[in-house]
Amino acid sequence: MASISQIVASLVTKAIGKELIQPSDNVYARNQILGILKVDTFEEEAIPLCDRSIPELLDILADDAVNREIIENLLDEKEKLQALVMNVFLSKPSQVNQLFYQKYEEAPEKATNYFYQLSKDSNYIQTKRIAKNIQFKTASDYGDLDITINLSKPEKDPEQIRRERERKLDLAYPKCLLCAENEGYVGRIGHPARSNHRIIEVPLEGEKWFLQYSPYVYYNEHCIIFAKEHRPMKINRESFLRLTAFVEKFPHYFAGSNADLPIVGGSILSHDHYQGGNYTFAMTRADDEFSFEMAKFSDVKATVIKWPMSVIRLRHKDRHQLTNAADYILQKWREYSDVEASILSHTAETPHNTITPIARMRNGLFELDLVLRNNRQTEEHPMGLFHPHEDVHHIKKENIGLIEVMGLAVLPPRLKDELEEIKKHLLDESVNIAEYHKNWVQSIKRRHSNVTAENVNQIVENELGLKFARVLEDAGVFKTTEDGRIKFKRFLSQL
């Protein structure tokens, strides 16, 4: 069994190897960590372990601190300790920003490569937990969709949940998980540790905005761009300007926003923010289905793409002209109703129509995808008319946010075990299938008469992809049928 001195020596050696610190920082870093761990001595002859990763070493230190009763055996307490330890190896925010922009002068990619690697090496991005996720691609009529079964977020034990409830109303600092005030925040029960968190200043359209990476990245370089001001999400002309300004600064990234209404919006509507990254989604690769013209913006290329949700794609070399066209469409859509298409813009004073926008650079042009959204609820579909319908809830019933819109399913962890049971059932093993999966399983059996141990994984993955395509079709305000396209063109004629 390795001693604490060995673990600390290993961690310092790893940090030097990743160039988080210099060899001459060795003793300083070691002593700072010993202080956090409340350990008074160190074995100078301790030999570092080369076969352990930084997250593994941090887990050992946290478990030891619990055994010695330095901290309680609670997830938040362990994460606070681990973040404090990693903060020893990190430069001050001003230095991180300075180095980022030095590298930006060489190339935007060099700056983001540096910051992404730093966020992983510092254990801010939870690489060990993310590795648990189940990820694969599956073919559909709309291209290869990405499927992720999210296993990365650890479950909280009852004691942690009880304490969070007790403290829920006690504190409101930082105001939310996206506020800039999280940088370096030690954390508390119910609010994650952020001692090892760094953010980059990215001014957009004369406002203070910041760049960080998601602690649980769902795709390559999954970043969050957020306002300094704590204010609600809003989709408007300024949103389009900021999104296009961001991709102008970082042309290798896309940037998009969740919608600004409940049901069709993301999980955090209380803080204005976008998501971006260096990844090509199925929606990005979608072909133009047909083009149309807007009299007021005849030089903006406008198309509808082949995608299960209702997407207008705009292209232009001038982002301001593109923004004007996008804002024009947004204003028209906000007020648009078509009873025959079940689209109502308002119920009394409550608005239903909004847009999920995604910006990118492609072939020297700015490109803006406008995904039309409507959050109306009906008696038949109380969770949302343009939301996953009840017959697909066994796979996905949560909001369809920006990431899903683009073709990446983030599915609940329960599916890991449930899908294994379904595979066994398809191979005629005697197992219990969850009641809500039974109709789906019977339909799979009807369509696949020859299920074997060799092909069962592929069959189930493909079927899951088909279900996700259905989820997206449900969320589309104009369906991909001939009738749906007629109704879509009816709206486009208003432009």
Q: Give per-residue burial for 447-470: e unless 16+ CB within 10 Å, then b.
A: ebeebeeeebeebbbbbbbbbbbb
Q: Give per-residue burial for 155-182: e unless 16+ CB within 10 Å, then b.
A: eeeeebeebbeeeeeeeeebeebbbbeb
Domain ranges of the chain: 4-70, 409-475
Residue 168 is predicted with a pLDDT of 62
Residue 34 is predicted with a pLDDT of 98
* Residues 6 or more apart in contact with residue 172 via CB below 8 angstroms: none
Compute CA distances 430 → 408, 427, 454, 461, whole Å.
33, 9, 19, 21
- The answer to whether residues 30 and 9 touch, using CB atoms and an 8 Å cutoff, is yes
> Could you give the angle at the alpha carbon of 208 between the alpha carbons of 202 and 209, nearest 5°?
50
Cis ω before 55 (30° cut-off from 0): no
DSSP 434: P
Compute CA distances 457 → 148, 206, 407, whole Å.
15, 51, 21
For tokens 């910051």, what's the residue?
115
* Residues 6 or more apart in contact with residue 207 via CB below 8 angstroms: 227, 228, 229, 242
DSSP 350-409: EE-EEEEEEEEEETTEEEEEEEEEE----SS-TT-TTS--GGGTTT--S---HHHHTTEE
Q: Give per-residue burial for 296-328: e unless 16+ CB within 10 Å, then b.
A: ebeebbbbbbbbbbbbbbbbbeebeebbbbbbb
Give pLDDT tens digits along the chain (495 positions). Answer: 789 999 999 999 999 999 999 999 999 999 999 999 999 999 999 899 889 999 999 999 999 999 999 999 999 999 999 999 999 999 999 999 999 999 999 999 999 999 999 999 999 999 999 999 999 999 999 999 999 999 997 766 677 667 766 666 567 899 999 999 999 999 998 899 999 999 999 999 999 999 999 999 999 999 999 999 999 999 999 999 999 999 999 999 999 999 999 999 877 889 999 999 999 999 999 999 999 999 999 999 999 999 999 999 999 999 999 999 999 999 999 999 999 999 999 999 999 999 999 999 999 999 999 999 999 999 999 999 999 999 999 999 888 999 999 999 999 999 999 999 999 999 999 999 999 999 999 999 999 989 999 999 999 999 999 999 999 999 999 999 999 999 999 999 999
Altogether, the residues listed in the chain come to a count of 495
CB atoms within 10 A of CB 19: 11
DSSP 256-301: E--BSSTTTB-S--SS-EEEEES---HHHHPPEEEEE--GGGTTSE
